[in-house]
Amino acid sequence: MHWIPPYQVRGRLSQARNDKLLSTYVVVYITEFEKFLSRGSSMNKAIFFLIPLVILGILVIGGFGIYNGLVSAQEEAKTAWAQVENQFQRRADLIPNLVETVKGYARLERSVLEEVTRLRSQWGEARQSGDINKSLQAAMGLEAGLGRLMVVVERYPELKSNQNFMKLQDQLEGTENRVSVERRRYNQAVLNYNKKIRTFPGAFFAGPFGFEGMPLFEAEAGARKASTVKF
């Protein structure tokens, strides 16, 4: 048996104790590190699931904003059209008296008078339907009919001097000015709405949610010119 000096024995025992303590520290460190990694893994998993949810939430909130913007633009256009209808109704209410007045002087123009009366009825029916496209067509038809009636009036100088007709003419001119203002506002609202549903990102929502383009109100050149004749 090999002899070991006592001081070496004490050194080896001390080293053994140190190694055991070190190994204990290592085990504790590894254990804690594994726990840290375990917690980190859980956090990574949470982050992995949270990020898509956050993105989805942002998209949903943004989608609601875009949808509400389309609804607001559409309602503004509808409100503007309602104002156009109000002014057209004011004009339509003047037509029966206008026709009766003109009839007393222009009996030979029966076809024009009947046409204006018929177009007024069509306008009323179209307005009741609530269909803006039908109302627009009827409104433009009525404008054209009134334009032709004003051309007829030009042939009868004595009619232009009639007090009742002059009063009706002033009222018609007033409604024409108001119609022009409301028509312009309506067209601006429609242009804004149509732009929203045709451009990104509104275009992605327009189809699925039933947002359709709205028509512009462009008066026929001849009708507008004739309806603003000065007597």
pLDDT in tens, 178-200: 999 999 999 999 999 999 999 98
Crossing angle for the helix pair 132-153 and 6-103, nearest 10 degrees? 30
pLDDT given at position 21: 52
pLDDT at 210: 92
Amino acid at 47: I
Q: Specify the pLDDT at position 198.
A: 94
Evaluate whether 220 touches 201 at the Cβ level (below 8 Å).
no
- Helix ranges (DSSP H) in the chain: 6-103, 110-129, 132-153, 157-160, 163-198, 202-206, 221-227
For the whole prediction, is pTM greater than 0.75? no
Domain boundaries, the chain: 72-227
d(CA 87, CA 70): 26
Nearest alpha carbon to residue 219 among 114, 147, 132: 147
Cis peptide before 52 (omega within 30 of 0): no
For residue 228, pLDDT over 70 is answered with no
Fold adopted by 72-227: de novo design (two linked rop proteins) (1.20.1440)
pLDDT of residue 158: 86
Task: Label residues 117-137 b or e (16+ Cβ within 10 Å = b).
Answer: eebbebbeebbeeeebebbbe
More confident residue, 104 or 178: 178
What are the tens digits of pLDDT across the range 26-76? 455 556 555 655 655 555 555 656 777 778 888 888 889 999 999 999 999
Tell me the mean pLDDT in the region 104-122: 86
